[in-house]
Chain A
Amino acid sequence: MSAVLRAQALGKRYKQRWALQNCDLDVPAGRVVGLVGPNGAGKSTLLNLASGMLTPTTGTIEVCGGRPATGPAQLAKVGFVAQDTPTYAALSIADHLRMGARLNLSWDNALARERIRRLGLNFKQRAGRLSGGQRAQLALTLGIAKRPELLILDEPVAALDPLARREFMQDLMEAVAEHELSVVLSSHLVSDVERACDYVIVLVDSRVQVAGDIDDLVACHHRLTGPRRDPDTLPAGQHVITASHTDRQTTLLVRTDTAVHDRSWTVSPLGLEDIVLAYMARPTDAVRDTRPALEVLR
């Protein structure tokens, strides 16, 4: 399957501070990708690099087979809903649709009007008077109606209340199913990603900690509980993500491609949230010394 987003040694530095470093990614097409990580981890930077709003300091990034935002044809392939879903406050919804129609090669006006109507919005209403959720929906409509191959959303629901959040995600998922889009969306909440996505990228401290299919990730991560023991004595195929010890007991979170046969362990399954939190909690220096990114192979 072709890659919708491919990054090699990608990095972005602002003056002295690296916002993203050593990022290698190969995201297959047709996926709904969740990009998770704490605030300030570099999620927005990565998405802005993918949309061409930023240019890399190091390395390369390719989106839908081309360098981002290099021309009208490339721009047409990618829809981007930026953080805080900016819209022109003084322009009406109808004006926004007209803008989309005039500024895009492939604009599906029927789709845009239908979405606005279904959302129950008034075409004459100024965008500045919309609620946060409505504005996000307008921005999403603009992103979808240009009929991109890839839709990128940067924290689209961060400012929304739980109900609007759920509605927005549901609506997004329907649109994705209907138009066969690839999607990359960022969130600092794992629950958003868990509900909507089938692929996850965990970004912590400007580095990719893990990236892969969610089902695969869940299948190959386990919690091992047993008598106290040094994690270094584990078999070679088992990588310890986090370890915690009490006087008598050791709890490990490991990644392994094979089954755990050691009878002394109690093996329990993990949810996506457990896995993501484990990667977030891990001291990042450890990663720096070993491998910059763990790629889960399928």
Chain B
Amino acid sequence: MIWLTWRQFRTQAAVAFAAVAAFAAALAVTGPQLADLYRTAGSSLVDQVSSSDQSVYYAGLLITLAAPAVIGMFWGAPLISRELETGTHYLAWNQGVTRTRWLASKLGLGAAAAMTVAGLTSLAVSWWSSPIDQAVNGGGATDTYFPRLDPVAFAARGVVPMAHAAFAFVLGVALGLVIRRTLPAMATTLVVYAAVQISVPLWLRPHLAATDRTTVPIEPGGAPISIQEGAQQIVTHPDVPGAWVTSQQTLNAAGQPVPVPSSFADCLRTESGPPTLQQFDRCLADLGALGYQQQVTYHPASNFWALQWAETGLHLGLALALTGFCAWWIRRRLT
């Protein structure tokens, strides 16, 4: 059975591994000089990265983030839906192998290949980006690069891409099995996977490890402060390098969570145009004088691996659950 699975899969596998090898080679060429730069420049590396290396940084992010989705769409979704569409499952299921074993071999080999491809990509990208990640975590001030805990970079580093790939692959297989047509299954896989990738960092990942809390005074000249929603929300930017801020809350003098008082918005009101900088500082000082503070909840950079393993476990668990669903569906519902 493994022979047939491999025979049907080998072209796709060859294409994927060739692409990974080519990309890894490109990274291997440019990686060492970035590491040298970090050795000499330290955290100020963030201002000295060449524009071509900057492109490679973003390409690495994009490719590692997209790899699981592509795997789910192009490996997972067609895996069984194409057989159902062309009727070849009639041929496969009437050889001397039960359809459960047929499914197990297809899922096993496919998931292993998916995890290998995503794992190798992540390994290469994580290695290449590590000087920049270290510089950012070391306090290099930057708006150009993401801390590796940031939702954008988190899924393109470490072991998480492997789990995402396994999940996306099995998700594609399951949707292909249920929808039974290749193209709709591919589209649905992309939509569902994207939805999961947006929902998890928004609502789930913040709770996967213990967060830290810090209280920042509201004062001009302190931690940078910005306002949102017409001065009804305050956002501070505390100086915790590499942190991922998950929520903010304004506290009153008694330390109770409260909305930002309307006096602050009144203070900032102008006849026309935005408030001046002096006006902004004065209003902040007034608010601070009333005892208002800003509480910031965040994951420190040291939570990186705890969150990585938790996220990996979560997606591998989802992949296993979907595997069980596929086994049930192929035996009970596809008859």
Interface residues, chain A, CB within 8 Å of chain B? 51-55, 69, 71-72, 75-76, 78-80, 82-84, 86-91, 95, 98-100, 102-106, 139, 142-143, 146
Interface centre among B94, B97, B335 (most CB of A within 10 A): B94
Bound-state CA distance A91–B87 (Å) is 15
Stretch at the interface among B3-11, B148-156, B191-199, B301-309: B3-11
- Which of B91-141 touch A at CB < 8 Å? 91-99
| B7 x A146 contact (CB < 8 A) | no
Bound-state CA distance A47–B99 (Å) is 18
Interface size class of B (residues with CB under 8 A): 10 to 19
**Lowest 10 CB-CB distances: which A-B pairs, in order?**
A82-B90, A103-B95, A86-B87, A104-B96, A80-B94, A55-B335, A102-B3, A86-B88, A76-B96, A103-B97
Residues on the A chain within 8 Å of B3, using CB: 98-99, 102
Q: Is B52 an interface residue (CB 8 A)?
A: no
Checking B8, B87, B96 against A82 with a beta-carbon cut-off of 8 angstroms, the contacting residue is B87
| A69 x B93 contact (CB < 8 A) | yes
Bound-state CA distance A103–B95 (Å) is 6
- Which of B215-270 touch A at CB < 8 Å? none
Q: Is B86 an interface residue (CB 8 A)?
A: yes
| B86 x A91 contact (CB < 8 A) | no
Bound-state CA distance A176–B263 (Å) is 95
Give A108 Cβ to nearest chain B Cβ, in Å.
13
| B94 x A78 contact (CB < 8 A) | yes
Q: Is B1 an interface residue (CB 8 A)?
A: yes
**Given A55-B335, A102-B3, A103-B1, residue A75 in contact with residue B90 (CB < 8 A):** no
Which residue on chain B has the smallest CB distance to residue A105?
A: B96
Bound-state CA distance A83–B91 (Å) is 10
Give B298 Cβ to nearest chain A Cβ, in Å.
52
Residues on the A chain within 8 Å of B87, using CB: 82-84, 86
| B90 x A88 contact (CB < 8 A) | no
Give A78 Cβ to nearest chain B Cβ, in Å.
7
Checking B4, B86, B96, B99 against A146 with a beta-carbon cut-off of 8 angstroms, the contacting residue is B96
Binary interface profile of B, 273-296, with partner A (CB < 8 Å = 1, else 0)? 000000000000000000000000
**Given A54-B335, A86-B87, residue A104 in contact with residue B93 (CB < 8 A):** no
Bound-state CA distance A45–B335 (Å) is 11
| A72 x B94 contact (CB < 8 A) | no
Apart from A80-B90, A104-B95, what 15 extra A-B contacts exist at CB < 8 Å? A53-B94, A55-B335, A69-B93, A76-B96, A83-B90, A84-B87, A86-B88, A88-B91, A89-B86, A91-B8, A99-B4, A103-B92, A103-B95, A104-B96, A146-B95
Give A176 Cβ to nearest chain B Cβ, in Å.
18
Give B8 Cβ to nearest chain A Cβ, in Å.
7
| A75 x B88 contact (CB < 8 A) | no
9 A-B residue pairings within 8 Å (CB atoms): A53-B94, A71-B98, A75-B94, A82-B87, A82-B94, A84-B87, A103-B4, A103-B96, A103-B97
**Given A86-B90, A87-B91, A139-B91, residue A72 in contact with residue B7 (CB < 8 A):** no
Give A84 Cβ to nearest chain B Cβ, in Å.
6
**Given A53-B335, A88-B8, A98-B3, residue A79 in contact with residue B90 (CB < 8 A):** no
Which residue on chain B has the smallest CB distance to residue A76?
A: B96
Bound-state CA distance A75–B4 (Å) is 18
Residues on the B chain within 8 Å of A88, using CB: 8, 88, 91
Bound-state CA distance A142–B88 (Å) is 13
Give B95 Cβ to nearest chain A Cβ, in Å.
4
Interface centre among B88, B96, B99 (most CB of A within 10 A): B96
Residues on the A chain within 8 Å of B92, using CB: 103
| B93 x A72 contact (CB < 8 A) | no
| B94 x A102 contact (CB < 8 A) | no
| B96 x A87 contact (CB < 8 A) | no
Residues on the B chain within 8 Å of A82, using CB: 87, 90-91, 94
Which residue on chain B has the smallest CB distance to residue A49?
A: B335
Residues on the A chain within 8 Å of B94, using CB: 51, 53, 69, 75, 78-80, 82, 143
Bound-state CA distance A102–B1 (Å) is 7
Which residue on chain B has the smallest CB distance to residue A103?
A: B95
Bound-state CA distance A75–B96 (Å) is 5
| B4 x A102 contact (CB < 8 A) | yes
Bound-state CA distance A75–B102 (Å) is 13
Give A64 Cβ to nearest chain B Cβ, in Å.
14
**Given A55-B335, A146-B95, residue A86 in contact with residue B4 (CB < 8 A):** no
Binary interface profile of B, 1-44, with partner A (CB < 8 Å = 1, else 0)? 10110011000000000000000000000000000000000000
Residues on the A chain within 8 Å of B99, using CB: 69
